[in-house]
A and B are shown apart, each in its own frame.
Chain A
Amino acid sequence: QVTLRESGPALVKPTQTLTLTCTVSGFSLGTSAMCVSWIRQPPGRALEWLARIDWDDDKYYSRSLRTRLSISKDTSKNQVVLRLTNMGPVDTATYFCARTGCTSTSFYYIDVWGKGTTVSVSS
């Protein structure tokens, strides 16, 4: 069974860097065509795609947030880490990680979602 679980702080202060971890099971981050995305959703608002890391360590970022985002993985620990710098109130959201198709034959879609973790930004 494929699962993804997000973890990280529930509260961060403005200007701090948010670090979130996605721990996966049921598949390997090193297996061809296995990729993980991060998505967020501010309260009452739409989903926003943030970043993706591929099995071969290629990384991709939302154009609007690319200067603040970094994504990495530790295959041996089955973990993907997202960092978002210079946090502000507009970054208050539920953050999801998700297994994602990342080739033309895996159709670039999300097939398994984590439950999400809620992050608030406040001093």
Chain B
Amino acid sequence: QTVVTQEPSFSVSPGGTVTLTCAFSSGSVSTSYHPSWYQQTPGQAPRTLIYNTDTRSSGVPDRFSGSILGNKAALTITGAQADDESDYYCMVYMGSGISVFGGGTKLTVL
């Protein structure tokens, strides 16, 4: 079974730029897998940030952007703010109706 991997943790300075990635245990993540990204703070439901690789969900600031970098999906935060400190999850569509989440990245802003 394909495992979707993300960096367990990352830190960024306020105002800095950080790129989180989403990879397969084997093979490449491409736009065909329709990667999407979600932000979650403790005790809350996730919030949708990016879908279909690079489309921002309604109301999401343009400092969040999605892309494919090499063989991975990527979420870039430009000009990080304190309230960006959250857990970030990617989800990919594997086909045959099945989706899979990555293990999540805990982002610290300090």
Contact = CB atoms under 8 A, between A and B. Distances in A.
A109 B1 contact: no
B34 A52 contact: no
Given A46-B103, A48-B101, A109 B45 contact: no
A43 B44 CA distance: 12
Interface residues of B, number: 25
B19 interface: no
Interface residues on A, range: 20 to 34
B24 interface: no
A39 interface: yes
Interface of B: 1, 34, 36, 38, 40, 45-48, 51-52, 55, 57, 89, 91, 93, 96-104
19 contacts: A37-B99, A39-B101, A46-B89, A46-B102, A47-B46, A47-B104, A49-B100, A52-B97, A52-B99, A58-B97, A60-B97, A61-B98, A62-B98, A64-B1, A108-B93, A110-B36, A110-B48, A113-B46, A115-B45
